[in-house]
Amino acid sequence: MVWFCGGHGVCLTGEGDAGKIERVVLAWLRRHLAGDASVDTGPGFEWVADDAVWRSSDRFPPPGGAPLVAQGSGTLAFSPADTVSGALIAAGPAVNGVDVPIPAPAARTDVVGEPRLELTYRGTALDRNAHVFAQIVDRTRGVVLGNQATPIPLTLDGRTRTVARALEGVAASAGPSSRYVLQLVGGTTMYGPTRNAGLVRFDRVRLALPT
């Protein structure tokens, strides 16, 4: 398995080794299509992080470390005007959102995999069956990690509720100077027009990033 930067999207943080994907694809075809068992197709899992450096593991998921955990709370008023961040193929930092800072690790740490988000919330909306979107913003470079935003379903009927979801997979190289934040937003251009409007209070936000 290979996670790379590009494909049917844009790469804003660097592809790393030029031509690597083409070499990996050709090696796989030579071994599994042409039947040349002598061809080395590489490690079981390779990925390029947001520092444009390739890393590898014998398997996926790679052996895990202690997660980076962010916790917070906040209130979000959302409306159709929120669909102004990002582009059709890449999420972008939003002006209107609830930001939860992600603590920087003491030493350089590989973040790779699907972050886990847990929300305790209450709110009301024109349509009680609502969505917000979760994305991880790199404040240093002003980009969303992996260009990914994940829709999170909410039931906004005034009652306190909880929801837990895995976010889209990410790959980052975090360090003491990193400035990543979880951002909960009402809309993103990636998912088209937002037709709902409402107010939601996040009493508890917890994000665990796999390392």
Residues, the chain: 211
Q: Is the pLDDT of residue 51 over 90?
A: yes
Pair (36, 136) in one structural domain = no
Asked, for residue 145, whether it belongs to a domain, the answer is yes
- Percent of all residues in the chain with a pLDDT value above 90, rounded to a whole number: 91
- Quick: pLDDT tens for 78-91: 999 888 888 888 99
Say yes or no: 31 and 94 in one domain. no
Classify 14 in phi/psi space as left (phi over 0), alpha (psi -120 to 50) or beta: left
Assign 71 to helix, strand or coil: strand
Residue 115 shares a structural domain with residue 12: no
Whole-number Å distance between alpha carbons of 147 and 132: 16
Q: How far apart are CA 207 and CA 202, in angstroms?
A: 13
Give the type of residue at 77.
A
Q: Which domain holds residue 110?
A: 68-209
Where residue 141 sits, what CATH number does that domain have? 2.60.120.260
How many structural domains does the chain have? 2
How far apart CA 176 and CA 190 sit, in angstroms, is 31
Mark which of 19, 34, 57 sits at the end of a domain.
57
Q: Give yes or no: residues 123 and 45 share one domain.
A: no
Are both 29 and 133 inside the same structural domain?
no
pTM assigned to the model: 0.94
Q: Residue 18: what pLDDT?
A: 87
Residues 174 and 84 in one domain: yes
Instruction: Strands of 107-160 (E only): list them.
Output: 109-113, 116-138, 143-144, 150-157
